[in-house]
Amino acid sequence: MPDIQEDDDLVFHKICSLLEPLNEKGVKLTRDTDLITDLEIDSVSVLDIVMDIEDNYDLSIPVNTISETRTIGELVDAIHAIKKEQA
C-alpha cells in the first residue's frame, strides 16, 4: 500500500509539473482540479500533455480514455490502470 501511495504521488507530481506552464491563472493543483473548466486548457493541449506522459512512462493512453477524464485525479487513476494493464 505505501508503495502505491508513493507511486501515486509521483504520477500526480509529474502531471502537475507538465500542467504548471499552462496554469496561467495560478490555480492550486489538486486531484480535484478540472483540466478544462478550472485550468481552461483546450482539449488539444490536454492531448499534448498526455503525449508527454506516454513517453515518460512508456505507455499508450488512448484518446478515448482522455475524453472520459476531467480532473487531474481521474487522469492519475487512468494512468495507473493502464500501467497495471501494460505491465
Partner 1 sequence: MSLFDKFEKTAALYYQLSDAGQNPFNVVMEEVLGPTRALIKGRETVLAGTHNYLGQTFEPRAIAAGQEALAREGTGTTGSRFANGTFAGHKKLEAEIADYLGLSHCVVFSTGYVANLGAIAGLVDPSEDVLLIDADCHACIYDGCQLSGAQTIRFRHNDPESLDKRLGRLDPSVKGKLVFIEGMYSMYGDIAPVAEFVEVAHKHGAYLAVDEAHSFGIYGENGRGVSEAEGVMDKIDFYTGTFSKSLASIGGFVASNHKEVEYLRFSSRPYKFTASPSPATIASAAAALENIREHPQLREKLWSNARRLHAAFTQLGLNIPAPPAPVISVLFPTKEEAFAAWNYLLHQGVYVNMAIPPGTPGKESLLRLAVSSAHTAADIDQIVAAYTAMAQTFESARVSASAN
CA 62 – CA 17 distance, rounded (Å): 21
Size of the site for partner 1 (CB under 8 A): 17
Q: Which of 47, 73, 76, 84 touches partner 1 by CB under 8 A?
A: 47
In the chain the first and final C-alpha atoms are separated, in Å, by 18
Which of residues 10 and 51 has its CB atom nearest to partner 1 in the complex? 51
Q: Which of 10, 27, 63, 81 touches partner 1 by CB under 8 A?
A: 63
Q: Does position 45 bind partner 1 by CB under 8 A?
A: yes
DSSP state of 82: H
CA 46 – CA 38 distance, rounded (Å): 13
Site string for partner 1, 5-44 (x = CB under 8 A): -------------------------------------xxx
For 56-82, b/e burial (b = at least 16 CB within 10 A) is ebeeebeeebbeebbbbbbbbebbeeb
- List of residues contacting partner 1 (CB under 8 A): 42-45, 47-48, 51, 54-55, 58-64, 86
